[in-house]
Amino acid sequence: MPVDSCPLHSLDTGDISCSIREHVTHSLGKPCREASQRDVATALSLTLRDRLVDKMLETRDRYRESRAKRMYYLSIEYLLGRCLGNNIYNLKIQGEMGALLHGWGYELEDIREFERDPALGNGGLGRLAACFLDSLATLDMPGCGYGIHYEYGLFKQSIENDRQVERPDYWMAEGMPLQLERRDQSVIVPLYGRVENHQTPDGSYLPLWVDWQDLVGVPYDIPIAGFGGQTVNYLRLFAAHSTDSFNMEIFDQGDYIKAVHQKIYSELISKILYPNESISFGKELRLVQEYFLVFCSLRDITRRFLKQNRNIEELPEYTAIQLNDTHPALTVAELMRLLVDERRVPWDRAWNITTSTLAFTNHTLMPEALEMWSVELLEKVLPRHLQIIYEINRRFLDSIRQSGPVDDAKIRRMSLIDENHGKQVRMAHLAVVGSHSVNGVSKLHSELVKTVLFPDYAALWPGKFNNKTNGVTPRRWLYKANPGLAGLITEAIGETWITDLDELQKLVPLAEDAAFRERFAAVKRNAKVRLAGFVAKTTGIVISPDALYDMQAKRIHEYKRQLLNVMHVIHDYLRITEDGYLPPTPRVYVFAGKAAPGYFEAKEIIHLICRLARVINADKRASEHLKVVFAADYRVSLAEKLIPAADVSEQISTAGTEASGTGNMKFSLNGALTIGTLDGANIEIREAVGEENFYLFGLTTPEVERHLAEGSYDPWEYYRKHPEIRRVLDSISAGRFSPDEPTAFHWIFEKLLAKNERYLHLADFMSYIEAHERIGMEYARPDVWMRKAVLNTARMGYFSSDRTIREYAKDIWGIKPIPPRGA
């Protein structure tokens, strides 16, 4: 083809208008006069894709020419959220697009609602990956994400008869206009089979993986635009298909039905995202998913690398691979296999290359969430990888024995194989041994990673362990989600904060400025009016924008303690209805979050919240002071509606259980005050915003640890001592919120009073209600409250994911920005 054969697209409104009409006609096959709002949304997405692709190709050339080191982020989940609005904002054409569509009789905001919110993740971990992609592109950093193109994302939640109902999320139903299929770059993935032991002519060991089956990974690229749109990276998601050749082989043997079954199995691999955060171990399909991601990504990475005429031994100089939790930890074994078996690199050198290339982030301390795979299953699915894991383990344990005397107990603790419940591979150990860096996601969590999770490894390799406190992208979570506040900030300090969030510091003096505080309050109220409209439309519940909006929005999990919040709501309700108490401020309690479909307690917590809402919202004595809303189907797009309207953010996990939290950052950045424990990133948020601007309560991590270690927590003691606790628990147990089913919530009474209750709800309850007392009083004084709210926003600069990414780039990846020429 001639060079430069295709003219580039421009961001000129006239050109865009022309492109939209062109896409309606030629991509959707409709005359413009018949276009529906959905068609306009699709055509607009395609129009933007054209522009993003131009920039993506330009970015790719720029990276190639620079021959710079690149970073690859491997994650089994990405929670991108809707892309259309985000791209419009990152291209800075929201004004022009709004006007153009308005001229055609549409509102941009309505058009944006037609886009599906791709939920290719469960929660924090997947959303963090999405924020990181935004920051990488904004910082002009050469990096890209790898993941799985699930056909079904996280289930859609609805509430029926006060209970969660799950429905499949077929997110591609209307197509995904932004993605580019890259069939030509498909990858053939071997699995199953067995290993034959052979020798090379010179007598060294030559394993041959034979009789494997295969499937195909087809990449789909989603362009990721940095702010300003100059750098466009991409997220590459692999979909699983069957190979025709494979089917034909069986077919030729005469077994047509079996051939079809193979095809169905192959396509199952990327069919669905697992909806729970821990109890899927042992599921063969999940293991195959993890391997599929790892194999496809590594093939793609090394193919790109070798195309540049480089020697595989130089891999770590030009490539950094970040493992997002242990889900892609098989990368350690697969990279070794690729080097040793395919490239014939000697083991020691291969090991050096592997550990210098890989780095690992841990996201959880919960013992039940630490991945283990049985040796038996690995043997069946990935026989050669299992051998390699055993060899890594043998050499590793030999090296510790050689470095000094060690007892057997320590060897057993450090081994990659757990032999306590049958033989199982500890994926976290594999990731630690196979990486040069291991990080946690907040200061506290990173300490606990060293002291609780991997004490032996931390003693062996103190330099390997480090902290990278999470962050969130200010583009989505302030600029786009909260245009009112973003506008006010830009008016006050200019717009540099969008890419340099520390600039928000300049708002600090304005916290003393009554006029500014009033404008800040007006912005907040506006967001609350909008949310109230949404709540009325979706739930029928009427809430006043003058009430305090108190929100807890996150996955439902016992450790996150939604029950503590529920207990406080009941406490408030009973004080009003039984004690004649008049709260200083009316409140709306908003809950949102999904429960894993098989997690009984979590689903019952949702049930209780919905029942409670029904009773309270219908009670005339209370409804002036108190409303409860369960906002169904929490997802990125709902978070963007809730967060700008929050006055109070509930971050109330038991100290030592939440690795970081990132919702806590989004709320505070948008001017909500946190009521929280000394857990995860709450600690750093409190230090940043100032302790007087944060409502602290609860036990500390060492206090919790001591209770759990010594068995000294006695919930009945709290029950006996505090009438407030007694009254709340008795009301739940007596069926006050489920009159037709009086015993429905009895399990909660039992659970919270059990000696081994792991999350110490009752120990923290009195200090929790005391902190809420202070909130009620201070909210009633708008000048006091708004001063604190402004200071929260002003001091959250540190929690930008741009800062996090800069730290990863400098300390772990060794990559640098490759900005466009002249930038």
Q: Residue numbers of the site for ligand 26Q (CB under 6 A)? A: 122-125, 128, 274, 277-278, 280-281, 286, 327, 363-364, 369, 371, 441, 470, 658-662, 680
Closer residue to ligand 26Q in complex, CB, 324/355: 324
Smallest distance, ligand 26Q to C-beta of residue 277, A:
4
Distances (CA, A) of 509 to 5, 19, 500, 503, 513: 55, 46, 18, 13, 7
Smallest distance, ligand 26Q to C-beta of residue 661, A:
5
Residue 258 catalytic?
no
CA-closest candidate to residue 673, choices 780, 569, 785: 785
Distance in angstroms (rounded) separating the CA atoms of residues 9 and 11: 7
User: Based on C-alpha coordinates, what's the Rg of the chain?
Assistant: 27
Closer residue to ligand 26Q in complex, CB, 327/571: 327
Smallest distance, ligand 26Q to C-beta of residue 75, A:
10
Catalytic residue among 554, 736, 751, 795: 554
Spell out a b/e string for 293-327, using b for 16 or more CB atoms within 10 Å of the CB, else e: bbbbbbbbbbebbeeeeeebeebbebbbbbbbbbb
409 burial level (CB within 10 Å; 0-12, 13-18, 19+): exposed
Catalytic residue among 112, 560, 561, 594: 560
Distance in angstroms (rounded) separating the CA atoms of residues 442 and 22: 49
Position closest to ligand 26Q via CB: 124
Smallest distance, ligand 26Q to C-beta of residue 368, A:
10
Smallest distance, ligand 26Q to C-beta of residue 379, A:
20
Look up residue 773 and give its amino acid: E
Residue 363 catalytic?
yes
The token pair that represents 24 in the structure block: 């309606």
Q: Cite the beta strand spans of 615-717 per DSSP E.
A: 626-631, 648-651, 673-676, 695-696
Closer residue to ligand 26Q in complex, CB, 273/315: 273
Smallest distance, ligand 26Q to C-beta of residue 441, A:
4
Closer residue to ligand 26Q in complex, CB, 140/658: 658
Distance in angstroms (rounded) separating the CA atoms of residues 125 and 178: 23
Residue 620 catalytic?
no
Helix (H, G, I), strand (E, B) or coil at 591: strand
- The answer to whether 156 touches 633, Cβ cutoff 8 Å, is yes
Closer residue to ligand 26Q in complex, CB, 287/612: 287
The token pair that represents 507 in the structure block: 């708002």
Smallest distance, ligand 26Q to C-beta of residue 529, A:
30
- Residues comprising the chain, all counted: 823
Smallest distance, ligand 26Q to C-beta of residue 543, A:
29
Residue found under tokens 């016992």: 558
Distance in angstroms (rounded) separating the CA atoms of residues 315 and 384: 23
Residue found under tokens 């296999």: 337
Closer residue to ligand 26Q in complex, CB, 128/176: 128
Smallest distance, ligand 26Q to C-beta of residue 324, A:
9
Smallest distance, ligand 26Q to C-beta of residue 484, A:
27
Residue 554 catalytic?
yes
For the chain, what is the total number of helices (H) and then of strands (E)?
A: 34, 23
Closer residue to ligand 26Q in complex, CB, 146/785: 146
Q: Cite the beta strand spans of 56-119 per DSSP E.
A: 70-74
Closer residue to ligand 26Q in complex, CB, 273/732: 273
346 burial level (CB within 10 Å; 0-12, 13-18, 19+): exposed
The token pair that represents 74 in the structure block: 């491997």
Catalytic residue among 555, 587, 594, 607: 555
Q: Give CA 445 to chain center in angstroms.
A: 17
CA-closest candidate to residue 771, choices 782, 781, 779: 779
Question: Residue 636 is inside which H or E element, if any?
Answer: helix 636-642
CA-closest candidate to residue 555, choices 519, 510, 599: 599
Catalytic residue among 662, 674, 701, 793: 662
Closer residue to ligand 26Q in complex, CB, 121/644: 121
Distance in angstroms (rounded) separating the CA atoms of residues 372 and 391: 18
Smallest distance, ligand 26Q to C-beta of residue 143, A:
18
Residue found under tokens 């109070």: 648
- The answer to whether 213 touches 241, Cβ cutoff 8 Å, is no
Closer residue to ligand 26Q in complex, CB, 122/701: 122
Catalytic residue among 62, 69, 70, 363: 363
Closer residue to ligand 26Q in complex, CB, 34/368: 368
- The answer to whether 231 touches 112, Cβ cutoff 8 Å, is no
End-to-end CA, the chain: 30
Closer residue to ligand 26Q in complex, CB, 268/369: 369
Smallest distance, ligand 26Q to C-beta of residue 18, A:
42
Distance in angstroms (rounded) separating the CA atoms of residues 790 and 485: 11
Distances (CA, A) of 561 to 30, 451, 653: 52, 24, 6
- CA angle 63-72-208, nearest 5°? 115
> Could you tell me what percentage of the chain is helix, strand and coil, using 3-state DSSP and rounding each to the nearest 5?
55, 15, 30
Distance in angstroms (rounded) separating the CA atoms of residues 125 and 364: 10
DSSP conformation class of 741: S
Look up residue 654 and give its amino acid: T
Distance in angstroms (rounded) separating the CA atoms of residues 57 and 9: 13
Closer residue to ligand 26Q in complex, CB, 329/699: 329
Catalytic residue among 666, 686, 736, 761: 666
Residue 473 catalytic?
no
Helix (H, G, I), strand (E, B) or coil at 277: coil
Q: Give CA 140 to chain center in angstroms.
A: 22
Smallest distance, ligand 26Q to C-beta of residue 128, A:
4
The token pair that represents 694 in the structure block: 């944060």
Q: Which residues are part of the catalytic machinery?
A: 363, 554-555, 560, 662, 666
